[in-house]
C-alpha cells in the first residue's frame, strides 16, 4: 500500500495538468531568474564594492592592484549623501518626469477618448497610427527633433519673432529643458494613449446614458463617470511614462543643455565615462528605491481613496 502512495505522489507530479503548468510557466520563470533577478543581485552587491583601478570592480577577496581598496564598503552611499548635487539631480529628474507624464496625460486623454468613441471599424487604424512612430528607430526620430528645434529653423524663428514683439530676447529652443520635455513627451506618448484607450474602450455606454437621463450635463458626465472609471488607465499609463522617463539618458544627452543632466545621464556616465561601476550601481539602486517608494505611495493613496468612498 505504501508503495502505491508514494507512486501516487509521483503520478500527481506527472499528471498532465501539473506538467503543462510547469512547461508553460517554466521557461519565462527561468528567464526572469537568470536575466533579471541575477543581474539585480549583482548590481546590489556591486554598490557595496570598490571600483577597480582601470574600471570594473576591485576584487572582493584577496589583494588588488597597488593603491586599490578591496572588500565591501558603504563609501558609495556615504558619498551620495555627502553632496547635495546628487539629490538636486534626483529632484530635477523627478520634476522633468512629472511634467513629461502630466503633459502626456493631457495630450493622450482626448486622443484616447476620440479613438474609443469612434466607430469600431476605424479604431484599429487609429491605434496603428498611434504606434506607427515605433516603426522607425528612436534615435533617428530624436535627431529629427534636433533639426526641427534647431536655431535656424522655422519653429525657432517663429517663436523668437513672437517674443521680439513683446521685447523679449531670443531664446534657444534646442539644448534646453524645454527640448528635453518635448522629446520625452514625443517618444512616450503612445505608452500613455494605449492603456488609456484600452480602459476607455471598455466603458459601458449605457452608463453615460444613465448619467444624462438622471440630469448630468456633458461636463458632469465626464468628471463623474468617465474620468473616475478611467483612473486605472491613467495610473498604468502614467507608470509606463514616468518610470522610463526617469531613467532616460539619450534624450537629455541629445536635446538637453549642459545643465540638463538627469539621473539617467549620471548613471550612464559612471559606467561609460568615469568608469566607477560601484557608484553607478549605487545610483541605480537609489533610483529603483525612489520609483518603488513612489509606486507604494500611489498604491496607498489609491487604497485610501477607496476606503473613504465606502
Q: What is the DSSP string of 171-215?
A: ---SSSHHHHHHHHHHHHHHHHHHHHHHHHHTS-HHHHHHHHHTT
Residue 204: exposure state from Cβ atoms within 10 A (0-12, 13-18, ≥19): exposed
> Which residues lie closer than 8 Å to 309 by C-beta, 6 or more apart?
none
Task: Please state the closest distance from residue 308 (CB atom) to other proteins, in A.
Answer: 11
Which positions touch other proteins (CB under 8 A)? Answer: 204, 206-207, 209-217, 220, 224-225, 228-229, 309-310
CB closer to other proteins, 141 vs 203? 203
CB of 220 to other proteins, least distance (A): 6
Three-class DSSP category at 57: strand
Residues listed for the chain: 310
Q: What is the crossing angle of helices 75-82 and 277-309, to 10°?
A: 70
CB 276 within 8 A of CB 106: no
Q: Which is nearer to other proteins, 133 or 228 (CB)?
A: 228
Q: In terms of CB distance, is 3 or 309 closer to other proteins? A: 309
Residue 255 C-alpha cell reads as 536635446
Q: Decide if 185 contacts 194 (C-beta within 8 A).
A: no
Of 168 and 207, the one with the shorter C-beta distance to other proteins is: 207
State the nearest-atom distance from the C-beta of 104 to other proteins, in Å: 24
Q: To the nearest whole angstrom, how small is the minimum distance from the Cβ of residue 145 to other proteins?
A: 39
In 10 A of CB 82, how many CB atoms?
10
Answer yes or no: are the C-beta atoms of 114 and 202 closer than 8 Å: no
Residue 181 or 211: which CB sits closer to other proteins?
211
The nearer residue to other proteins, 5 or 217, going by C-beta atoms, is: 217
Instruction: Please report how close the Cβ of residue 184 comes to other proteins at its closest, in angstroms.
Output: 31
**Cβ of residue 302: shortest distance to other proteins, in angstroms?**
12
Smallest distance, other proteins to C-beta of residue 217, A: 6
Q: For cell 564598503, name the residue.
A: 73
Task: Compute, in degrees rounded to 10, the torsion defined by CA atoms 236, 239, 241, 247.
Answer: -160
Distance linking the first and last C-alpha atoms of the chain: 56
CB of 125 or CB of 210, closer to other proteins: 210
Amino acid at each position: 500500500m505504501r508503495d502505491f502512495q508514494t507512486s501516487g505522489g509521483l503520478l500527481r507530479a506527472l499528471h498532465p495538468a501539473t506538467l503543462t503548468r510547469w512547461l508553460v510557466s517554466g521557461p519565462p520563470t527561468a528567464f526572469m531568474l537568470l536575466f533579471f533577478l541575477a543581474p539585480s543581485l549583482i548590481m546590489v552587491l556591486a554598490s557595496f564594492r570598490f571600483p577597480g583601478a582601470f574600471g570594473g570592480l576591485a576584487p572582493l577577496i584577496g589583494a588588488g592592484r597597488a593603491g586599490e581598496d578591496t572588500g565591501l564598503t558603504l563609501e558609495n552611499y556615504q558619498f551620495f549623501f555627502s553632496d547635495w548635487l546628487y539629490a538636486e539631480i534626483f529632484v530635477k529628474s523627478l520634476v522633468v518626469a512629472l511634467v513629461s507624464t502630466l503633459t502626456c496625460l493631457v495630450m493622450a486623454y482626448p486622443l484616447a477618448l476620440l479613438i474609443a468613441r469612434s466607430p469600431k471599424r476605424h479604431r484599429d487604424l487609429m491605434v496603428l497610427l498611434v504606434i506607427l512612430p515605433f516603426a522607425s528607430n528612436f534615435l533617428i526620430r530624436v535627431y529629427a527633433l534636433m533639426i526641427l528645434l534647431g536655431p535656424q529653423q522655422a519653429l525657432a524663428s517663429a517663436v523668437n519673432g513672437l517674443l521680439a514683439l513683446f521685447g523679449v530676447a531670443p531664446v534657444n529652443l534646442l539644448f534646453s529643458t524645454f527640448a528635453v520635455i518635448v522629446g520625452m513627451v514625443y517618444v512616450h506618448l503612445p505608452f500613455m494613449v494605449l492603456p488609456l484607450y484600452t480602459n476607455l474602450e471598455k466603458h459601458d455606454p449605457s452608463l453615460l446614458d444613465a448619467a444624462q437621463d438622471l440630469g448630468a450635463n456633458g461636463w458632469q458626465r465626464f468628471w463623474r463617470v468617465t474620468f473616475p472609471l478611467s483612473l486605472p488607465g491613467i495610473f498604468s499609463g502614467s507608470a509606463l511614462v514616468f518610470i522610463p522617463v526617469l531613467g532616460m539618458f539619450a534624450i537629455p544627452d541629445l536635446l538637453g543643455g549642459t545643465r540638463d543632466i538627469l539621473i539617467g545621464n549620471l548613471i550612464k556616465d559612471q559606467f561609460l565615462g568615469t568608469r566607477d561601476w560601484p557608484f553607478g550601481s549605487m545610483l541605480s539602486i537609489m533610483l529603483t528605491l525612489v520609483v518603488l517608494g513612489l509606486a507604494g505611495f500611489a498604491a496607498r493613496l489609491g487604497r485610501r481613496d477607496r476606503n473613504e468612498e465606502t
